[in-house]
Structure formats: C-alpha cells, structure tokens
Structure 1
Amino acid sequence: MEKLNDANICSIKPLVTPEHLKEDFPVSDALKDQIILNRKEIRNILEKKDKRMLAIVGPCSIHDPVAALEYATKLVALREKYKSRLCIIMRVYFEKPRTALGWRGLILDPDLDDSYKLEKGLRQARKLLLEINNLGLPAGSEILDPIVPQYISDLISWAAIGARTTESQTHRELTSGLSMPVGFKNGTDGSMDVAINGIHSAQHPHSFIGIDKKGQTCVLSTAGNKTGHPILRGGKRGPNYYEEIIEDTEELLIKEGLRPVVLIDCSHENSGKKYYRQERVMNSIMDQRSRGRDSIVGFMLESNIHEGKQSIPEDKNQLAYGVSITDACISFESTIQILDSAYQVLGKLKS
C-alpha cells in the first residue's frame, strides 16, 4: 500500500540539540567578550567610524579541520601585523550551496563520501570555530541551512548570505535575528536589486518557525538586523568591481536610504573563476581606495595553504594537504603579498 506521509523519506535520525553541543564545546566568558568586540569593530568599519578595511580571507570551504587550523595559525600572525589598517577575519565556510549536485560542506558530509554524518560535522565545525577564535582570530561564515546557526552562530563575528539564497525570504527572516553583521551578495546574474531588497527586509522585525537551544520547534520573533551590507561578486554578465559600477551602486544605496558601503568579493565571477585573477581585482580595489573611494570598506579573498583545487578522490588518503576541493584558491604566500600591498597603499592615504 502506498504511503500517505514520508513516501520519499528513507530514514529519520535524532540529532544532538544545540544546548548539548554547546555544553560539550562551551564558550568562556573571555571569549564571549572577544567575539562581541570583534562584531563591534566590524560594525564600526561598516559605519566608517573605523577607517580600516575589512579583509575576509580564507579557504573557499573547510574540508580538513587540521589544515584549516594550520591556516588560521598563519593568518592570525598577519592579523596582528596589519591590524592598524586591516581588520582580518578568517573565512570559515562549512556549507556549500550547489547549482546542481556536489559536495555540500563539512557540516553535512564531513567524511566526503555522501554518508551525511551531520552530528560529526556539527561537532567538528564547533570545535574548529572555538580553536580559531581562541587564537584571537574572528571567524566569518556563510549562513545556508536555517537550523545550523543555533549550533555555531555564537562563534561567528561576520556572516554572508550567498548569491543563490540572497533572494530567499527564509534567509532574510533568519538574518533579521542574527547577532552579527551580515553581507548580502548580489544575485548570480549580477543584479544588485535582490541584495538591496534582502538588506531592507532583514532590517525589519519578522516572525518565523525555527528551533530553540533545546531543539524545540518555536515561533521566533526578531527585532531586525541593521548591519546588512552588499557584497559585489560579479555575475553572469561579468565582473562588477569596476569603478563606474561602484558609483552606480553607491547612488542606488543612497536612493534606497541605505548606507553607501560595499564589500567586494575578489573571487567568483569577479575573477572569472580564475583564482590568480584575484590579485587583479585587489589592484583595482586599492587603486580606487587610493583615489578616495572609501565606500569600498572591505574585500574577500579565497585563499588556502596551497594554490589551486583538487577533485575528491575515491581514496581520501590521496587528498593533497591544504588544497581546496571546491573553488580554486590562491596560496598563502600570494595572500601575504596581496595583504601587504593593501597595507602599504592604505598607509599612504590621508587620514
């Protein structure tokens, strides 16, 4: 007899609650204060109270926590070295939206084999975020699944809504209740309308279905998140980091009553998905900043220990260490050169 319910559900398994996961990986009072301060610094940069630039830097995605922690250890030294002009945040992405099919990230599939051991993924993600933050390095991440933030959002200082979900009402409502600054990427076609609509929507109160720390299904009511800002990542029509496009974006934001500030993603369509072109995008960003375009308050770089990318082999022991399995990244050596160049340009600007 054909089922009325769950006709296409193969299994249902209970998952650890957010409360229990946080008990296993607790945040100290000192670390809470540090993350609150990190978020305040980011807000101050977005509001131009702080003249530094935001630098969201790190792997396209995290698939190896050991390599990710090594990367973080390297990056925290650069955060300290360049802190007077750059506010460096590590890109720590655990979920990957897919255009069709593909590996969906460490949280959903930590063993890279379609086994979907979500509890293992959540534990690895929270443990790694704790380790990164305890180094003194803020973490930034994309918010994709609407339940996952209950498990890890207390350890995130900056968040992004991706190009594929920036038009999603679910993600706009979710953002309205998040505690950190959130950037909305332009749509995959390159249009800014969906990002601006997302920022507007997230600024207002919403009510929606979610879970609390005990895993209980609830109606969550929010106050609205006033820290939304656009991220330019290019689109099907090409890059959108050129000066005339930035000018048009500024005008559009002012017209819509929004703060005229942008972050620029040096990867994705802005680099034509060629990782080595990220430096070209950064050169344009810093040229524009040097000529007074301070609406560009930050940038994103996809960077790893080693450059390029690799496919996931059947034998996971064959994975190359410190190399991306999603979008290709620049090497850490190139990252140092790019950040140092940005630091030098900012040092020449009039205060």
Structure 2
Amino acid sequence: MSATFKRRLPIPKEIKAEMPLSVASAERKKAVDEEVAAIIKGESPKKLLIVGPCSADNEDAVLEYASRLAKAQDEVKDKIQIVMRVYTNKPRTKGTGYKGLLHQPDPEGAPDLLAGLKAIRHMHLRVVEETGLFTADEMLYPENDRFLNDMLAYVAVGARSVEDQQHRLVASGIEVPVGMKNPTGGSMSVMLNSVYAAQHPQTFIYRNWEVETTGNPLAHCILRGYKGLDDINYPNYHYEYLERLAAAYEDDKNYQNPAVIIDTNHDNSGKRPLEQIRICSEVLDSVARNKDIAKLFRGFMIESYLEDGNQPIGGGVFGRSITDPCLGWDKTNRLIHDMADRL
C-alpha cells in the first residue's frame, strides 16, 4: 500500500493565465451574480433554474445544449434566471467507474488529471464566452474551486460531501450561492448544520494557506431525496417536507436568507428523468397553496441533455448522458416555458 506523487499540477493562477476569461464576460458576470443573489435573498420575484447534463462529458454536445439553453433563457428572462449545469466531477458511491471530465477528458481513456484540469476550464470558458450563460458545478473537490470560480454563478455541495468539514469551510468563502444537499440518508439537521457552518466566518487550511472567511450568507438547502434504511429511494419534495423545512428555518433565527432549491432528479425521481416534469408541477402547486413554502422556495435543479435517458460509455448517441439518465431537450424546453407561464 502506497501513494505515488506523479507530478506537480498547475495552480489555478497558471491555468487562468493560459485560458483567461474576457473582460467583457467578467463585467457581465457581475450583473448575473447580483441577480442570482437577489433571488436567493428573496428580493427578486424571479426563480432560479440550474439545468443541464448529469455529467458534462462531451464538449461539442455540451456547447450545442448551451446554445439552445441560451435561446430559452432569452425567452423567459423576465421570470427565470438560468444557470447551466456544467458538472465536470462525478461522485462515485463505491469510488470506481467514470469520475467525470476532470479525471478522464476521454471517457474511454485512462485518467489524466493535468489534461482534465485544462479540459474543465476550457469547457466552462466556451459556454460562457460563446453563449453568454454562466455555469454551475459541483464542489466535489474543494481544492478545485479556484480553477473555475471566475465563471461559476452557482456551486453545489453533494449528498456525499455535505457532512465534510472542508466542504463546509470552503463554502463559507465562496462569493456565489452554495447549495447544500441533504445527505444520502436524508437528514434535514445535517443539511441545515452544513448551511449554518457555511454562513459563518471560518478559519482553516486551504491549498497550503491559512485562510479566514467572512461566511457566505447565500448558502442554502437543496432537497434531492434520500435512500432509506431499506435501500429504497424516498422523495422529499412533497408538501409536508417543504412545510417541515420552512418550520425548521423559522425555529432558528440564526440562519440568513432561508431558501431551498428542489433537485428534481436523483432520489426525488428515483432516477426516472421524465418524472422531473411532474415533480416541478407538484412543487409549484405547493408553493401556490402555502405562503411559508412560497417564502422559502427559490427554484429547481434539473438534469437535462440533448437526448432522453442515458447510455453506456461509448454508446455513440450524441448528447445522451453516459451517467444518470436525463430529460431530453424538447421536453426540457417545454418545461422551462410552462414553468415561466406559472410563475
């Protein structure tokens, strides 16, 4: 048993210098960040939609999807602020299998983390510069945040990471909203503790620095369903769960900007992506019926790609997920517009 230190990887400053964000895009991002922050704070009537592939594996397919999504954003901009999911790390429950673009720029090839760091920067950069959309990624590895932070308008901490101290502390220093998912076992208190930690000032070691943060008041909850002790998936987007979360926030006045995003896939849908349409409708019904839920609800996270479903690596269908199954583009586009009509 041993670990081999193969090579020194570039630091974020070096990668950014090699692939810089344009001045024009950096200026545009300020306005988008302000809009997204206003939504999380409840100061804007718009809702947030974080939508895109389960895993961004193919740059050409991701850019084709992004170009279509940018057109939809322009059509619903008065009601919805879209941030595109460009997820370049894939958590694996058992630690094996395809771990995303960062690990394998070629999904059929061997791991290459140097090429992967450049590939994830290049993909996010093309989406931003060519379509005008800003992006979201999962903070699977806290050390990687600085490679992309000038382009990310939203960050998610996944169900397997939400109890981890380093994720919570790094989230406290991120300058955009960070969504904390409920853990795989479903504990609401674990999720809320993570939000609390991220909202408060912290001191910790990060990338060989002693770091102090001021806290992130935009940290909030994401409900994504959970796996029960019987190993069956259970949703937590129903009226009763939303009502319970609203009450938990109300009972503790130490939280800033109480907010929730509903992840419509994963254990909420049982990884049945077509159910995401029905789930959005039910949540919007709950929002319409209960003022406390309406006060808390900020938007949706949806897994969507060019084609419905998924396929094995090397399956050959352009724009179909090679990880979790996704909602295809035509159905996604209708869902976005139907959602805008209801808001």
What TM-score range do you get, normalising by the shorter chain?
Answer: over 0.9
Write the deviation string for residues 189-220 of structure 1: whole angstroms up to 9, x where unpaired: 12211111011111122222222xxxxx2222
The aligned counterpart of 2:321 is 324
The aligned counterpart of 1:285 is 283
| Pairing partner for 1:127 from 122, 128, 142 | 122
C-alpha contact (below 8 Å) 1:290/1:345 kept by paired residues: no
| Pairing partner for 2:261 from 232, 249, 263 | 263
The aligned counterpart of 2:334 is 337
| Pairing partner for 1:223 from 214, 224, 229 | 214
Structure 1: gaps of 5 or more residues: 1-6, 212-216, 347-351
CA distance in 2, matches of 1:96, 1:169: 20
CA distance in 2, matches of 1:25, 1:179: 21
CA distance in 1, matches of 2:142, 2:17: 21
Q: How many residues align?
A: 331
Deviation of 1:155 (Å): 0.9
The aligned counterpart of 2:18 is 24
C-alpha contact (below 8 Å) 1:107/1:125 kept by paired residues: yes
CA distance in 2, matches of 1:262, 1:185: 10
Q: Out of 292-301 and 323-332, give the one that drifted further.
A: 292-301
| Pairing partner for 2:158 from 153, 159, 162 | 162
Deviation of 1:11 (Å): 4.5
C-alpha contact (below 8 Å) 1:251/1:260 kept by paired residues: no
The aligned counterpart of 2:170 is 174
| Pairing partner for 2:249 from 253, 269, 272 | 253
Aligned ranges 1:26-175 → 2 under 5 Å? 26-100=20-94, 101-113=96-108, 115-134=110-129, 135-175=131-171
The one-letter amino acid paired with 1:128 is M
Identity of matched residues, %:
35
Residue 304 of structure 2 corresponds to residue 303 of structure 1: yes
TM-score, normalization by structure 1: 0.91
Deviation of 1:223 (Å): 1.5
Write the deviation string for residues 210-241 of structure 1: whole angstroms up to 9, x where unpaired: 22xxxxx2222211111111001111141011
Write the deviation string for residues 233-276 of structure 1: whole angstroms up to 9, x where unpaired: 11114101111110110000121222332110000111011111
Deviation of 1:114 (Å): 5.8
Is the partner of 1:95 in helix, strand or coil? coil
| Pairing partner for 1:199 from 173, 195, 201 | 195
CA distance in 2, matches of 1:302, 1:331: 9
Deviation of 1:10 (Å): 3.7
C-alpha contact (below 8 Å) 1:110/1:120 kept by paired residues: yes
The one-letter amino acid paired with 1:32 is A
The aligned counterpart of 2:231 is none
TM-score, normalization by structure 2: 0.93
Is the partner of 1:132 in helix, strand or coil? helix
Structure 2: gaps of 5 or more residues: 229-233
Is the partner of 1:147 in helix, strand or coil? helix
**Computing the radius of gyration over CA atoms, which structure comes out larger, 1 or 2?**
1
Deviation of 1:290 (Å): 3.2
